[in-house]
Amino acid sequence: LLDQPDLDEQLSRHIIVSAQRISVKTGLYPVCHELKNEIEDVKQAGAGGQADIYNGKAQGLGRVCIKAMRVFETMDKELVFKQFWKEVILWEQLCHPNIIPVYGLYRFQDRPCIVAPWMENGNITKYLKQNPEIPRLPLAVGVARGLYYLHDKGIIHGDLKGSNILVDDEGIARVADFGISSIFDPQILSLTSHSGAASRGGTIRWQAPELFDMQNDTVVKNSKKSDVYAWACVCYEIFTGCIPLNHLLNDATVLYQVKMGARPSRPLSSSESWSSWGLTEDIWLIMEDCWKAQPSDRPTIGSVLNRLRSNEMYSMVEVLDNLVSKNKLITVMGLKGEQGDDHQLTTHQNAGHNHDNGPENYNQPNLHTLRPDTETTSLAPTSESSSTEGFEDPTLGLPQLQEWEDPMERTINFQPYNTENLAKRPRNWRPDYPKTLIPRIPWPRSDIEEFKDPIKRMIIPLLDYNPRYPNVIYELCSYPEPQTLSFPILGRIYNHTDFNQLATNPPVDQMWLFHPLLPWYIDVHKIIQKGVMVQDVIMDVHMGLQTQINARDYFTEELGSKTRKKIATAYARRTQGDNQEKGNGIRKVDYLEEKNVFVGLVRTKDGMWEMKTRSVLR
């Protein structure tokens, strides 16, 4: 029942309640939660406070993480198992790009286990130590989005800290470890047996001061506001590389000092936190607000996200304000079709943002100075780029524009690249991506047979391409939110039920999307057992296009100088007014050039799915 896309959210909660209660009473769990896949090559990878962590290879799932509960002889095994089933029943219903998904239950060495995807990057603390140059704001925002999703579902995490935030292969933060989570909604059972201070769990350095009030041991418990406090502590880890109150070694001292008003110390102005890792005064003020002593004085996580939006690297407001006009935001129409057919442009006042795009505030970015045979994580701006006009040195990057110059008023000049300096065709490009060399070398159609779908499927109307009046409009430079994603066909703001509809009829487990301008396929996977949903398409398109490219994807013989010029122009337009995003370099979305508004999918004759995009009218 819970897999039904049109299931009412309130009914869904009641079903979860019933399943949890049945599990507690009987000590059993729904068979549908049991993982049927065989897991091989199991090796211990670590240990937590209440569980051992293994990794293995599951048939059809690849590398997986196995969280095996520790069960000692002195424990009430029946109670442990009951609590474990409750956690899994709840966790398996969560579906969000910033939440670790769960594959199901598993028994290993006669111990109850949860199986989830294996995250090679590990937790966020390890990830940042190994990759100190990674932009940190998107990670903080990702954790906030995951927490917002939990709170929206009435769920309190209760143990938010850096070691419980994992990072996937795309560099996206995913909230994990719901072992001590609790349900805020009184109609849903808590995942913990008690709510007193002795059983609240969590780690002292990340816990809010009200949780240390021993005089109210039976009353005080984790809340949404204590989660917000913990989120700010995670932010402190992200932007400083240190745990909260790292100068205090004893947990008892930490507890006392926090009750007396101690909070994580502000980094020195000369530290890397400010100069290299993206910490700003606005972000620090948000963290301080989250650390206030009284829970009622702290902001909600939704309010935190709204305040972060002005800093966030994927902010649609930053991009569209610069593209259209001062204090204007595109809503539904205002798109140019593939054949140049123009449509009505409607805008509304965006009162919360006032961007000054005057010459004194504009700083045009340069592409990173890269030799074609250098492989890096991204093509990014550099302060050492040459501003010399002309073509004296073929290894130099783009010439820098003057501060007063509008990048759209002149064509960006490129240095010429000799054919021997260009990289060969990258292996991860789709086989049928056209070559720009003359004569063109045709690619055999047999190379793309694996991507074809022989079954005739119909796309859901929400995602169906309508050339005149789009059914879906999504600004691909932005995170999919109500402000950036709309379905005009609905005539209203979309909701959770709309997002959970199956994308095709009959359902499909996986979709390969292509776009004529993109050298890569976008791989869309199902999250639930029934098939790919609307949200899977939207989120996988977002994550796929936000991937940073390397030099081999840019300085390649396939593109040609004209295409590189268009990509760089799209990059300059997208990052205008956002200095932090300038530093992150070219992303796959820039290969769409100016056609970066998604308006639907079309099934081709050979059973593939083509993404349709358009340009924003200016």
Question: How does pLDDT run across 582-595, given as a tens digit for each residue?
Answer: 777 888 999 998 88
Answer yes or no: do 195 and 269 share one domain: yes
Answer yes or no: do 106 and 204 share one domain: no
Answer yes or no: do 73 and 129 share one domain: no
- The residue from 117, 135, 152 where one domain ends is 117
380 or 461: which carries more pLDDT confidence? 461
pLDDT value at 457 more than 70: yes
Mean pLDDT of 159-166: 91
Q: Does any domain span residue 389?
A: no
Overall pTM surpassing 0.95 (yes/no): no
Answer yes or no: do 299 and 184 share one domain: yes
Q: What is the per-residue pLDDT for 81?
A: 63
Strand partners, 44: 54
From the list 199, 203, 138, the residue with the least C-alpha distance to 171 is 138
Domain count, the chain: 3
Q: Does any domain span residue 134?
A: yes
Domain CATH number, residue 151: 1.10.510.10
Answer yes or no: do 571 and 597 share one domain: yes
Phi-psi region at 272: left, alpha or beta (left = phi > 0; alpha = psi -120 to 50): alpha
Q: Does any domain span residue 386?
A: no
- Yes or no: say if 555 and 372 are a contact pair by the CB < 8 Å rule: yes
pLDDT value at 429 more than 60: yes
- What are the CA-CA distances from residue 102 to residues 3, 15, 175, 266 (Å)? 14, 19, 12, 37
Task: Kindly state the tokens that stand for 455.
Answer: 């079954």
Answer yes or no: do 429 and 538 share one domain: yes
Q: Does any domain span residue 556?
A: yes
Q: What is the per-residue pLDDT for 127?
A: 94
Rounded Cα distance, 470 and 403, in Å: 38
pLDDT band at 37 (very low <50, low <70, confident <90, very high): confident
pLDDT band at 381 (very low <50, low <70, confident <90, very high): very low
pLDDT value at 282 more than 70: yes
Using alpha carbons only, how large is the chain's radius of gyration in Å? 26
pLDDT value at 351 more than 70: no
Answer yes or no: do 157 and 197 share one domain: yes
Q: Does any domain span residue 334?
A: no
Mean pLDDT of 310-332: 37
How would you label 560-595 residue by residue, b for 16+ Cβ within 10 Å and e otherwise? beebbbbbbbbbbbbbbbbebbbbbbbbbbbbbbbb
- What are the CA-CA distances from residue 401 to residues 102, 398, 542 (Å)? 49, 9, 30
157 or 82: which carries more pLDDT confidence? 157
Q: Does any domain span residue 347?
A: no
Q: What is the per-residue pLDDT for 29?
A: 56
pLDDT band at 111 (very low <50, low <70, confident <90, very high): confident
Answer yes or no: do 105 and 132 share one domain: no
pLDDT band at 235 (very low <50, low <70, confident <90, very high): very high
Q: Does any domain span residue 612?
A: yes
- What are the CA-CA distances from residue 369 to residues 131, 166, 248, 374, 591 (Å)? 21, 32, 44, 10, 19
Q: What would the pLDDT profile of 553-612 be if each residue is shown by its tens digit?
A: 777 777 777 888 888 888 888 888 777 787 778 889 999 988 889 999 998 877 789 999
Q: What is the per-residue pLDDT for 427?
A: 67
Rounded Cα distance, 487 and 335, in Å: 14
- The residue from 308, 328, 344 where one domain ends is 308
Q: What is the per-residue pLDDT for 449?
A: 57
> Dihedrals φ, ψ of 66, to 5°?
-115, 115
pLDDT band at 399 (very low <50, low <70, confident <90, very high): very low
Show the domain range for 44: 9-117
- What are the CA-CA distances from residue 448 to residues 268, 434, 443, 444, 498 (Å)? 55, 13, 9, 8, 32
Q: What would the pLDDT profile of 39-61 be if each residue is shown by its tens digit?
A: 888 888 876 656 788 889 988 78
From the list 408, 409, 411, the residue with the least C-alpha distance to 399 is 411
Answer yes or no: do 45 and 136 share one domain: no
pLDDT value at 181 more than 80: no
Q: What residues contact residue 529 under an 8 Å CB cut-off, 6+ apart?
A: 3
Q: What is the per-residue pLDDT for 15?
A: 63
Q: Taking all residues of the chain, what is their mean pLDDT, rounded to a whole number? A: 71
Mean pLDDT of 535-563: 83
Sheet holding 62-69, edge to edge: 39-47, 51-58, 62-69, 111-117, 104-108
Highest mean pLDDT among 293-307, 353-367, 370-384, 424-438: 293-307
Answer yes or no: do 154 and 109 share one domain: no
pLDDT value at 375 more than 50: no
Q: What percent of the chain has pLDDT over 70?
A: 62
pLDDT value at 430 more than 80: no
> Dihedrals φ, ψ of 86, to 5°?
-60, -45
Rounded Cα distance, 29 and 372, in Å: 56
Q: What is the per-residue pLDDT for 538?
A: 92
Answer yes or no: do 535 and 437 share one domain: yes
- Yes or no: say if 39 and 26 are a contact pair by the CB < 8 Å rule: no
Strands 51-58 and 62-69, by their bridges, are antiparallel
Q: What is the per-residue pLDDT for 41?
A: 84
pLDDT band at 385 (very low <50, low <70, confident <90, very high): very low
pLDDT value at 308 more than 70: yes
Helices 301-308 + 281-290 axis angle, to 10: 170
Structural element, H or E, at residue 511: strand 510-514
Lowest mean pLDDT among 68-82, 107-121, 343-357, 559-573: 343-357
Q: Does any domain span residue 411?
A: no
Domain CATH number, residue 51: 3.30.200.20
Answer yes or no: do 451 and 508 share one domain: yes
- What are the CA-CA distances from residue 330 to residues 238, 326, 333, 491, 614 (Å)? 33, 12, 7, 16, 14
pLDDT band at 11 (very low <50, low <70, confident <90, very high): low
Lowest mean pLDDT among 245-254, 440-449, 591-600: 440-449
pLDDT value at 247 more than 60: yes
Q: What is the per-residue pLDDT for 477?
A: 87
Mean pLDDT of 393-399: 31
93 or 24: which carries more pLDDT confidence? 93
Q: What is the per-residue pLDDT for 451?
A: 60
Q: What is the per-residue pLDDT for 105?
A: 79
What is the longest distance spanned by two Cα atoms in the chain? 82
- The residue from 243, 278, 308 where one domain ends is 308
From the list 440, 544, 597, 534, the residue with the least C-alpha distance to 172 is 544
Q: What would the pLDDT profile of 257-266 be if each residue is shown by its tens digit?
A: 888 888 999 9
